[in-house]
Amino acid sequence: MGSKERIQRQKEDTRKGILDAALQIVRQEGWNALSMRKIADAIEYTAPIIYEYFPNKDGLLIELTRQGYTMLGKKIKKAQDSETEPAKQLEAMWMAYWEFAFNSKEMYQLMYGVDMVCCELKKSLPEAEYTTKLFSDAIEKLITKEPRPEDIICLKYYTFWSVIHGLISINLTQKGTNEEINQQILRGAIQAIIRTIND
């Protein structure tokens, strides 16, 4: 009897259902409104069931974080593939990062701890490193000096990240920011950093 597989599939469905329900609640009512009981309600179970799929709430959030990094990684890869010239590639990639932050605002908050209490010990998720690697490689391509020094890549990467993450954070917490200024800062900073990458 192949009911083992069917049950396995059902289990994976409810696991996915839990994550989806959580995300939907957060999107509709914000992170403060997310509770185990509310998730259980949404999937038409009672709260303890969730503990059969995740060790605890933090575990659930870590799984969501992982999904977020995977999504982000795909978006950035896609942006890279949309251009051929290295400088244009890098710009497109950071613009994709920017867009992800606003299209998936709640995910970004979870992943980068903007305006939320987030789970402990989510450092060094392998899914997060993929994005870092994409950016590092793109920066490396723009360095002319040989051998390309690792510390310059790192420095430039963190510089990019700081500006863009800072601008995103400010926009996500403070409201009433100007979209035109955002674009000016974003594009201006990206081009400025690219321009000075070989100094």
Partner DNA sequence: TACATTTGCTTAACGGTGTTAGATTATTTT
Partner DNA sequence: AAAATAATCTAACACCGTTAAGCAAATGTA
User: With CB cut-offs between 5 and 8 Å by kind, which of DNA, a copy of itself, none does residue 13 bind?
Assistant: none
> How big is the site for DNA, counted in residues (CB under 7 A)?
21
Q: Which helix (H) or strand (E) holds 135?
A: helix 126-142
Cα angle for residues 144, 186, 192 (degrees, 5° grid): 30
**Binding residue count for a copy of itself, defined by CB under 8 A:** 38
Q: Which does 181 bind (CB under 5 to 8 A by kind): a copy of itself, DNA, none?
A: a copy of itself
Q: Is 84 left (phi over 0), alpha (psi -120 to 50) or beta?
A: alpha
Q: How many whole angstroms separate alpha carbon 148 and alpha carbon 167?
A: 29
Print the binding letters for residues 132-171 with a copy of itself: x by CB under 8 A, - otherwise: -------------------x--xx--xx-xxxxxxx-xx-
CA–CA–CA angle 46, 49, 50 (5° rounding): 105
Q: How far is the CB of 127 from DNA (least distance, A)?
A: 22
Nearest to 61 by CA among 137, 120, 6: 120
Shortest Cβ 131–DNA spacing (Å): 28
Separation CA 113–CA 94 (nearest Å): 19
User: Which CB atom, from 19 or from 101, has the smaller least distance to DNA?
Assistant: 19
Footprint of DNA on 8-67 (CB under 7 A): 11, 14, 34-38, 44-49, 51-52, 56-58
Structure token pair of residue 178: 């100007």
Binding to a copy of itself by CB under 8 A, coded x per residue (else -) over 95-114, reads -----------------xxx
At residue 132's C-alpha, the angle toward residues 143 and 106, to 5°, is 135
What residue ranges bind DNA (CB under 7 A)?
Answer: 1, 3, 7, 11, 14, 34-38, 44-49, 51-52, 56-58
